[in-house]
Amino acid sequence: MTTRWLSPEEQRAWRAYIAASRLLEDAIDRQLQQEGGMPHLFYTVLANLSEAPDRRLRMTDLAETLKITRSRLTYAVTRLERDGLVRREDCRRDKRSSLAVLTDEGMAVLERTAPGHVEAVRASVFDRLTPEQVGQLEEICTGIARGLLGDAEESGAGDVPWRRRSPCSP
Amino acid sequence: MTTRWLSPEEQRAWRAYIAASRLLEDAIDRQLQQEGGMPHLFYTVLANLSEAPDRRLRMTDLAETLKITRSRLTYAVTRLERDGLVRREDCRRDKRSSLAVLTDEGMAVLERTAPGHVEAVRASVFDRLTPEQVGQLEEICTGIARGLLGDAEESGAGDVPWRRRSPCSP
B139: CATH: 1.10.10.10
pLDDT, position A168 = 41
As a whole number of Å, the CA-based R_g of chain B is 18
Q: Do A23 and B151 touch (CB under 8 A)?
A: no
In the predicted model, is pLDDT for residue B158 greater than 60? no
Closest chain A residue to the Cα of B126, Cα to Cα: A10
Task: Please check whether residue B16 lies inside any domain of the structure.
Answer: no
Domain hosting residue A56, numbered range: 31-120+130-163
How much is the mean pLDDT over chain A?
A: 90
Contact (CB<8Å) B118/A5:
yes
The residues near A62 (Cβ < 8 Å, ≥ 6 apart) are: A45, A48, A49, A73, A100
Q: Is residue A90 included in any domain, yes or no? A: yes
Partner residues linked to A56 by β-bridges: A101
In tens, the pLDDT along B58-77 reads: 999 999 999 998 999 999 99
Asked if A129 and B143 count as a contact pair (C-beta separation under 8 A), the reply is: yes
Q: Collapse the DSSP code of B33 into the 3-class scheme (helix H, G, I; strand E, B; otherwise coil) and give the result.
A: helix
Q: One-letter amino acid identity for B94?
A: D
**Nearest CA-CA distance, residue A121 and chain B, Å:** 9
Residue A83 gets which letter from DSSP? Answer: T
The CA–CA distances, whole Å, from B138 to A4, A69, B58, B129, B133 equal 20, 29, 27, 12, 8
- Which of B168, B109, A148, B59 lies closest to B117, judged by CA? B109
Report the run of H or E that residue B80 belongs to, with start and end: helix B70-82
Our measurement of the distance from residue B111's CA atom to the centroid of its chain's CA atoms, rounded to an integer in Å, reads 18
List CB contacts (< 8 A) between B134 and chain A: 9-10, 13
The band of A169, judged by pLDDT with boundaries at 50, 70 and 90, is very low
Query: Which of B14, B114, B169 is the closest to A121 by Cβ?
Result: B14
**Contact indicator for B121, A144 with CB cutoff of 8 Å:** no
CA dihedral B21, B23, B27, B28 (to 10 degrees): 10
pLDDT-based confidence at residue B168 (cuts at 50, 70, 90) = very low
- pTM value? 0.89
- CB within 8 A of B54, min separation 6: which ones? B101
How far off is chain B from A38, nearest CA to CA, in Å? Answer: 9
Q: Does residue B149 belong to any structural domain of this protein?
A: yes
pLDDT in tens, B16-49: 999 999 999 999 999 999 999 999 999 999 999 9
> Which residues, other chains included, contact A102 with Cβ-Cβ below 8 Å and sequence gap of 6+?
A46, A49, A50, A55, A56, A85, A86, A110
Distance from the B118 Cα atom to the nearest Cα atom in chain A, whole angstroms:
6
Nearest 5 degrees, angle CA A27-CA A28-CA A32? Answer: 115
Sheet holding A56-58, edge to edge: A56-58, A98-102, A86-90
Chain B residue with minimum CA distance to A10: B134
Find chain A residues with C-beta within 8 A of B18's C-beta. 44, 67
Is A18 a domain residue? no
Average pLDDT of the segment spanning B4-14: 95
Is residue A168, in this structure, part of any structural domain at all? no
CB within 8 Å of A48: residues ≥ 6 apart = A57, A62, A65, A66
B156, part of any domain:
yes
Closest approach of B68 to chain A, Cα-based (Å): 7
| Burial bucket for residue A81 (CB in 10 Å: 0-12, 13-18, 19+) | middle
- In this complex, do B9 and A134 lie within 8 Å of one another by their Cβ atoms? yes
CA distance A6 to B137: 15
> Distance between CA B85 and CA B104 in Å, rounded?
7
How far apart CA B148 and CA B18 sit, in angstroms, is 18
Q: How far is A30 from chain B (nearest CA, A)?
A: 6
Residue of B nearest to A5 (CA): B118
Per the model's pLDDT, the better-predicted residue between A165 and B88 turns out to be B88
- SS3 for A7? coil
**Residue-wise pLDDT tens digits, A33-49:** 999 999 999 999 999 99
pLDDT at position A158, please?
56
Distance CA A59, CA A68 (A): 11
Instruction: Measure Cα distances from A58 to A48, A78, A153 in Å.
Output: 12, 15, 21
- CB contact set of A36 (below 8 Å; sequence gap of 6+): A43, A109, A112, A113, A116, A117
Among partner residues B22, B68, B140, which is closest to A137 by beta-carbon distance? B140
Counted domains in chain A = 1
On whether residue B40 sits in a domain, the answer given is yes
Confidence of residue A159 (pLDDT cuts 50, 70, 90): confident
pLDDT band of residue A100 (cuts 50, 70, 90) is very high
Nearest chain A residue to B132, by CA: A136
pLDDT the model gives residue B76: 97
CB contact under 8 A, A13 and B128: no
Residue B112 lies in a domain: yes
Q: Which of the four pLDDT bands, split at 50, 70 and 90, describes residue B3?
A: confident
